[in-house]
Amino acid sequence: MDLKGNYNILFKFLFLFLVCTGLRAEVRLPAVLSDHMVLQRNSTVRLWGWSGASEEINITPGWDQHTYDIKADRNACWEILIPTPDAGGPYDIEIQGSNTIILNDILIGEVWICSGQSNMEWSAINGYDGAEEEVANANYPQIRLFQIPKTTSPHPQDDCEGIWEICSPETVEDFSAVGYHFGKYLQDQLNVPIGLIQAAWGGTAAEVWTPREVIDGDPEFSKWDQFLGTSDYWPRTPAYLYNAMIHPLVNFKLAGAIWYQGESNTANPLVYRDLFPAMINSWREAWDFPMPFYYVQIAPYNYGTPLQGALVREAQLQTLSKIPNTGMVVVSDIGNIYDIHPRNKIDVGIRLAKWALARTYGVKDISYSGPLYQTYRVENGQMILSFKYAEEGLLSKEGPLKGYLLAGSDQIFYPANAVIKGNEVIVSSDYVLDPVAVRFGFDNTTETNLFNQFEMPASSFRTDDWPIITKDVQIDIAYKPEARAYLVSLSGEGVDEIKYTINGDPPGLSGLTYRQPFYIDKECTIKALAFFDGRCSDASTTKVVKMNLATYKPIQHDTRYDAPFSAGGDQALVDGLIGGNSVNDGKWQGYLGKNLSATIDFGERIEIKKITTRAYKNQNAGIFLPNKVTFEVSNDGERFIEVYRKPLFHSRDEETKPFEYSFSFKGSRKARYIRVSADNMGICPGWHKQAGEKAWIMLDEITVE
């Protein structure tokens, strides 16, 4: 008998036993199951995790002190359904296996996911109206916040990062403002704990929030690569955010979802008609229940291509009738056509909460929707429109109704008059004797003023289903010194005919047919409309022409402006259009980390009395006034004489406004050239929150008198 060999075998067996025992997997939970969480009340919630294969797990929730037993499967995964009581807490949950986990401070209430792109992601750190006061008062221990970091994955994930936090000024500061005000209003009205899960990423299209099999299974969805473009700042591959930021939550019981997205799908708005409903359905399938889904219709904004925004709003409106248990918030009255991120986030959250209160929680006597177009009839050359959610009547704000267009069988739309009669709107136009279609707010930037008696705004809509076709007309203006006038040229790709007016009238009926360039010598409004294939474009082109001595004169840029602040192209500084109180109005030119130097050539020596330009200050956004602004004049374009210099000392303040630089000659001076220069500070100073990053300067129109 070989005792030595037997001892060796026994030793190896004991060693392996001890090693295996010591390496036995501990019970582990996903991040969303943690201290301070909120579980859905009066429901059956799923608890799940990982452990050793076939390990026995004992779970004891504090609200019933009953121990629930579950055995992990051979893949070391386990999950169990546990009933929850009515709202309350705090409770503890003990989870025992090879180790013990105790979850503390658990509340039972209502849980909502808050998802979408930048308008959902927008927080107090980004800045919104009333943010400072709201954050200072954000001590709500009955509201809990779970924020998922921006993460991508090519494959569905079972877990994500994040922790549940108690709502406080510190934790709410970088949480979704819309989500927070939605939850705050719910908590106030329902008086139950509210759990909010943020899964949002600015700039993202619906495709990246949708499972890959849904995208690949539809021939139109799968063309995403033709439309969405590229970006260094947000993912664009389908399902990458669904996999990493949505799929890890599908076991977690929700009350519903709120959604604010659509701006990034203006590139493929017709596809969005079916894509958005498909995304909603895919989420419902993943959670295995028809969750309430309340979303925000995008606000009017100056998108580059005509009608892109209107078509996305139409797709969102159509989703209401396609998909049950959905609701849509209209924000046309609190948007900003020059800023894709409107700063009124409080009312957006409250309006979403009103949909939830009325439709999910059955709260009576609450107005939660603005007027939604229902039907029309034609009487005596007028179209009479009726609306849902207008039983108590309609009203207009700040003057007569606006935003209506009317068309006859020729499908050419003209501005229309509209008046309210009870809960109907009567639309007519002197240009259309036999109307067949009406459109309301159906444009990228049209701001409307139709409300119901509860001051909820109406959604944009159209009564026709004609294919939308847009052909832009390029309006080019150049000063011709030999004529002492401005030559206007019109062009359009693939256009059969262009009609135009220079008095602001709609060109479809009374417009002149463009045959060759024409001259203008005074301020005017040019409107142009393209015709092709027997139809006219659904969008006309308008150019307002203002005049001063520098308007549309040749201008040479020694330094190039930076996107996206180049809407007016090379002539933006001499197009006659003065910038407003927003640098996003398409009239400002921006220079990132570099200087402005631009020279205007008048073609001959002219008499100059005054030179003016403006810069914009918004230091919170990294936009600083120039270190120095100078004006120079020249007769030959080589030897310049400085006539104005304005240096600046930068103060640490939050003031936001345009700042004017102006110089008047004593009497006048003759010169052919004017050079305007502005020195950028280069990088944000050390005291700034973006210290070391490139600084912006924003310059506006150069006017010469």
Is the CATH code 3.40.50.1110 the one for domain 109-360?
Answer: yes
Give backbone dihedrals phi and psi of 376, rounded to 5 degrees, phi first.
-140, 160
pLDDT > 70 fraction of the chain, expressed in percent and rounded: 96
Look up the pTM and report it. 0.87
Q: What is the pLDDT of residue 290?
A: 97
Which letter, b or e, does each residue of 76-108 get, where b requires 16 or more Cβ atoms within 10 Å of its Cβ? Answer: eebeeebebeebebebebebebeeebebebbbb
User: Two tokens at 504?
Assistant: 């602001």
Helix (H) or strand (E) holding 596: strand 596-618
- The pLDDT tens digits for 259-305 are 999 999 999 999 999 999 999 999 999 999 999 999 999 999 888 78
The vertex-72 CA angle with 66 and 76, nearest 5°, equals: 140
Close Cβ partners of 15 (under 8 Å, ≥ 6 residues apart): none
Bond before 564 cis per omega within 30 degrees: yes
Cβ distance 423 to 386 under 8 Å? yes
User: Two tokens at 251?
Assistant: 């076991």
The dihedral sign for the CA sequence 315, 321, 326, 331: positive
Q: What is the pLDDT of residue 31?
A: 98
Q: What is the pLDDT of residue 578?
A: 84
Cβ distance 36 to 64 under 8 Å? no
Q: Which fold has domain 474-545?
A: Immunoglobulin-like (2.60.40)
CB atoms near residue 34 (< 10 Å)? 17
Residue 458 gets the label, from left (phi > 0), alpha (psi -120 to 50) or beta, of beta
pLDDT at residue 7 is higher than 60:
no
Lowest pLDDT segment from 19-33, 165-179, 254-268, 498-512? 19-33
User: Two tokens at 205?
Assistant: 């299209």
Cβ distance 630 to 596 under 8 Å? no
Most distant CA atoms of the chain, gap in Å:
124
The vertex-480 CA angle with 477 and 486, nearest 5°, equals: 40
Is the CATH code 2.60.40 the one for domain 372-462?
Answer: yes
Q: What is the pLDDT of residue 620?
A: 80
Q: What is the pLDDT of residue 2?
A: 52
Helix pair angle (177-190, 346-355), 10° resolution:
50
The yes-or-no answer to whether 372-462 and 474-545 have a common fold is yes
pLDDT > 90 fraction of the chain, expressed in percent and rounded: 77
| 205/238 Cα distance (integer angstroms) | 9
Q: What is the pLDDT of residue 484?
A: 85
- The pLDDT tens digits for 459-488 are 999 999 999 988 889 999 988 888 888 999
Give backbone dihedrals phi and psi of 102, rounded to 5 degrees, phi first.
-120, 115
Q: What is the pLDDT of residue 401?
A: 97
- The pLDDT tens digits for 558-595 are 888 887 777 667 888 888 888 777 777 778 888 999 99
Cβ distance 239 to 153 under 8 Å? no
Cβ distance 374 to 386 under 8 Å? yes
Helix/strand/coil percentages in the chain, nearest 5: 20, 35, 45
Averaged pLDDT for residues 598-623:
91
User: Two tokens at 275?
Assistant: 């894509």
CATH architecture classification, 38-106: Sandwich (2.60)
Cross-strand bridge partners of residue 110: 194
What string of DSSP letters covers 620-671?
GGTB---SEEEEEEESSSSSEEEEEEEE-PPP----EEEEEEEEEEEEEEEE
- The pLDDT tens digits for 89-146 are 999 999 999 999 999 999 999 999 999 999 999 999 999 999 999 999 999 999 999 9
| 313/320 Cα distance (integer angstroms) | 11
SS (H, E, C) 239-282: CHHHHHHHHHHCCCCCCEEEEECCHHHCCCHHHHHHHHHHHHHH
- The pLDDT tens digits for 40-64 are 999 999 999 999 999 999 999 999 9
User: Two tokens at 53?
Assistant: 């294969």
CATH architecture classification, 555-704: Sandwich (2.60)
| 648/148 Cα distance (integer angstroms) | 43
Domain boundaries defined on the chain: 38-106, 109-360, 372-462, 474-545, 555-704
Which letter, b or e, does each residue of 265-299 get, where b requires 16 or more Cβ atoms within 10 Å of its Cβ? Answer: bbbbbebbbbbbbbbbbbbbebbeeebbbbbbbbb
State the amino acid at position 653 in one-letter form: D
